[in-house]
Amino acid sequence: MKSNYSPQRSQNSLPQRSLKINKKEMKNILIVDDDEVIVFLLKELFESEGFFVKTAFDGEDALKKIYENGLDIILLDIRMPKVNGYDVCQDLKEHKNNTPIIIITAHSIDEAKLRLCGIDIKNYIEKPFNPSDLINKVKALYQNKNG
């Protein structure tokens, strides 16, 4: 198991260095899930990786926070009260907001719907996930976005 995590540790060093270079360039991440425990875990996980974490527990709250703050990455659950994950994606697409989104869900997803919302199927992670896999994916997306 140890070997599994080893490559990730080496990758860690790069973004941390960039953080040091430009302190204003904080990596803003929004975690959206109706399960509080998951939200706190992910918050812990990404804060330890040097992200600035915002949280939301439903789609409506999430949309509000997305439009208020400039975000770098959104971790989004699909099944949520009020406004679900698909609707959030749809709303963002309509407002031409192309903040990268990673879908995290415990349920099977409607691929066609996701594609309609402009989500790359690769940016979909099933629970339970390897924390290191998720971190790698988020970091890759962040780098992709910022150049």
Partner 1 sequence: MSFLCVVILNLSIAIFVLYKNPFKNLNRVFFLFGLSIATWGLGGFLLAISQDRLYALRSLFVLNLGQVFIYSTFYHFVLLLTKIQRKFNKILLYLSYISSFVFLFVDRLFGLVNKDVIKIFDFYYPVGGIFAYPFTLVFISFIIYSLYLLYKAYKYTRSYLEKNRYLFIFLGMGLALLGAIPNFLLVLGINIYPSAHICSLILNFTLGYSIVKHQLMDIKIILRRGLIYTILTLFITLIWLINILFIEKIFRYLIGYETFLSSIITISVIIFLYIPLRDGIQYIVDRFFFKGTYIKEKIYERITTEIAKTMEKDIFLPKILDTINEKFHIKNGLIMLFEEKENLYKTICYFGRDVLNPYFKEDDKIILWLKENKREILREETEDKGLLEALLKIKGALVIPLIFENEMLGLLSFDEKLSGLPYNYNEIGFLNSISKELSLAINNLKLYNSLKKRTIELEEANRAKSDFLSLISHEFRTPLTVIIGYLYLFREKKLGEINEKQREGLKIMDEKANRLKVLINDLLNLAMLEKGKKIIRHKEKIDIIKALNETIEYMSTLASNKNIEIIKTLPQNVIINSNYDMIKKVFANLLDNAIKFNVNGGKIMFKIEDKENFVECSIKDTGIGIEISQKEKIFERFYQIDSSERRIYEGTGLGLSIVKEILEEIGGKIWVLSELGVGSEFIFSIPK
Check binding of 10 to partner 1 (CB under 8 A). no
The full DSSP string for 65-116 is HHHHS--SEEEE-SS-SSS-HHHHHHHHHHTT----EEEEESS---HHHHHH
* Closest distance to partner 1 from the beta carbon of 32 (Å): 15
Cβ neighbors of 131 (< 8 A, separation 6 or more) are: 45
Query: Does residue 140 touch partner 1 according to CB under 8 A?
Result: no
Determine the Cα–Cα distance for residues 5 and 130; give it in Å rounded to an integer. Answer: 9
Q: Which is nearer to partner 1, 87 or 124 (CB)?
A: 124
Considering only 14, 16, 44, 145, the residue that binds partner 1 (CB under 8 A) is 44
Query: Binding residue for partner 1 (CB under 8 A) from 14, 122, 143, 145?
Result: 122
Where does this chain bind partner 1 (CB under 8 A)? 1-5, 35, 37-38, 41-42, 44-45, 48, 106-108, 111, 121-122, 124, 126-132
